[in-house]
Amino acid sequence: MSTTGTQAQSARALVLPLALAQFIASYAGTNMNVAITTIADDLNCSVAGIQTTITLFTLTMASLMIPGSKLTDIWGRKNCFIWGLIVYGIGALLASFAQGLPLLMVSYSLLEGVGSALMIPPIYILITVAFDRIATRAKYFGVVSGAAGLGAAAGPLIGGLVTSAISWRASFILQFLVVAAIVLLARGIVDPPRTRTAPRFDVGGAVLSAVGLFFIVFGVLQSSTFGWGKSRQDLTVGGKVILAKGSISPVWIYLALGLLMLAWCAWHLHRVERAGRAPLVALRLFRNRVSNLGLVTQNVQWLAMQGSFFVISVFLQQVRHYNAIETGLTLTPATVGTLVAAALAGRMATRRAQATLVRGGFVLTLLGVILLLALVRKDSNFLAYAPGLLSMGLGIGVMLTASVNVVQSSFPESDQGDISGVSRSVSNLGSSLGVAFAGSVLVGAAGAVGNTEYAIAIGVISGFTVIGLVAALLIPKRRPGVSPGAGAKPSVSSPVDEVPPVHRS
């Protein structure tokens, strides 16, 4: 076999299980939405209970992403990835046998959430340390990002098909079988040996960061219930009214608590660093201007994607009375666009700077949002959505790869565990914000979702997209080549740089 063929085979052995894991994690975040009523009827519980279960999954995953990434430095990247898969698989299997809401919460919300927080950070770390050249790294980030976009976009369609044809339990069994296959594939991953002593786990920082992120994400998600201004309903705890309807929305209280805990966490991390110990996250990471701008673009792109999907799904189901399968098919152009852009990521990275790709992605996304506003009306057919969704899909597909590359490539291998967790937390927060902002607008319409409410919600998303574009314009351009954070020599053409270091003998 030729050297080039060996390199390609080696890269596939690394990237395939990582991409499949990212797909299944993204799928888990969206497929439950189309089966809420079916699950509630089967388990004899309320729809609100199932919605809470889905919310807790998001909260668990977002809150534990940073601690989970730190464990990659302690357990090793491959071990952390496989343990995450195992925990996730156990959760999926238990969920398929759930006869009540408590077991579903433990299996789906807790175990699958913890599993996701353990297995997602190593995905991006392994690709970053395996490929020195930015173009090659972009190619495989494109594969993983495409899998993420496909999982999120296809989740409602696949979930609807499986639920309608078989049962909602079959969807969890499908996840278990895929995860079991990934574990077998992951045995071929060779993690580079640790070059330094494993750090101690910062328990205090992990608790403070998890609680802080929990309250922030929880507060954002509660905006669709209580609103952002005056509270739309009473806040009750144990049957007692804590905040009456019409008073300040409890969303701001949750956000304030979250920010307070994160400030306490920052103070704790500073003390740990001054004492010469290893903190959960090094505060110096947040002094990197390029990375910070990249994190903003990551947050906004997930906000735009998940927010627009949510608005369109609600609009189609409540106004056009589409079922889950019809809704998923209407969103297909966005999925196609994301996959096409992801497939071209490596080629684009050799010709354009990452900052240019992020900017171009936001321009395409903003164009897509404008087309959705201009072309879609209450009586429009599904073809009216196609141009806007395709443009958005192409734009987000370009950005998903390039912005991850901007952030991960800003740091050396020793910092990849920390920055990967921060990056994934920021992306999850963006997803939550997108659904929350869009949801608060639609719920504020008191069920009368029509052209006006649709336009306002899409308009809010377009406003955030503009913010993302401004951040992208501030990212300095770097020529295509070897990442300065990879610790490699600045070679653009050497074929040796194409060989994944984790597979060299």
Q: Does any domain span residue 500?
A: no
Could you give the CA distance from residue 342 to residue 467 in angstroms, rounded to a whole number? 23
Mean pLDDT calculated for residue range 304-325: 75
Query: Among 243, 277, 311, which residue terminates a domain?
Result: 277
Please tell me whether residues 105 and 224 are part of one structural domain: no
Read off the pLDDT of residues 177-202 as tens digits, 9 standing for 90 and up.
Answer: 999 999 999 888 877 666 667 678 88
Please tell me whether residues 156 and 233 are part of one structural domain: no
Please tell me whether residues 240 and 176 are part of one structural domain: no
The residue range of the domain holding 306 is 3-202+278-488
> What confidence tier does 478 reach under pLDDT thresholds 50, 70, 90?
low
How many domains is the chain built from?
A: 2
> Tokens for 230?
């005056």
| CATH number (domain holding residue 320) | 1.20.1250.20
Q: Does any domain span residue 497?
A: no
Please tell me whether residues 357 and 420 are part of one structural domain: yes
Highest-scoring range by mean pLDDT, 180-189, 302-311, 320-329: 180-189
Q: Does any domain span residue 493?
A: no
Residue 235 DSSP code = E
Please tell me whether residues 24 and 91 are part of one structural domain: yes
Read off the pLDDT of residues 432-449 as tens digits, 9 standing for 90 and up.
Answer: 777 777 766 665 544 445
Please tell me whether residues 155 and 269 are part of one structural domain: no
What is the structure's pLDDT at 296? 92
Please tell me whether residues 242 and 367 are part of one structural domain: no
Burial class (CB in 10 A: 0-12, 13-18, 19+), 244: exposed
Could you give the CA distance from residue 20 to residue 89 in angstroms, rounded to a whole number? 13
Query: Among 231, 250, 277, which residue terminates a domain?
Result: 277
Q: Does any domain span residue 505?
A: no
Residue 237 DSSP code = E
Q: Is the pTM of this model over 0.85?
A: no
Contacts with 302 (C-beta within 8 Å, 6 or more apart), sequence order: 427, 428, 430, 431, 434
Tally Cβ neighbours within 10 Å of residue 447: 8
Q: Does any domain span residue 496?
A: no
Highest-scoring range by mean pLDDT, 140-149, 180-189, 391-400: 180-189
Could you give the CA distance from residue 33 to residue 362 in angstroms, rounded to a whole number? 27
Query: Among 241, 258, 277, which residue terminates a domain?
Result: 277
Instruction: Give the chain's radius of gyration (CA, Å).
Output: 22
Q: Does any domain span residue 502?
A: no
Please tell me whether residues 252 and 387 are part of one structural domain: no
What is the structure's pLDDT at 87? 95
Please tell me whether residues 221 and 127 are part of one structural domain: no
What is the structure's pLDDT at 346? 66
Q: Does any domain span residue 494?
A: no
Please tell me whether residues 234 and 282 are part of one structural domain: no
Residue with tokens 């940073």: 66
Please tell me whether residues 469 and 442 are part of one structural domain: yes
Mean pLDDT calculated for residue range 93-99: 91
> What confidence tier does 83 reach under pLDDT thresholds 50, 70, 90?
very high
Please tell me whether residues 46 and 140 are part of one structural domain: yes
What is the structure's pLDDT at 262? 92
What is the structure's pLDDT at 442? 66
Mean pLDDT calculated for residue range 384-388: 87
Residue with tokens 């278990």: 176
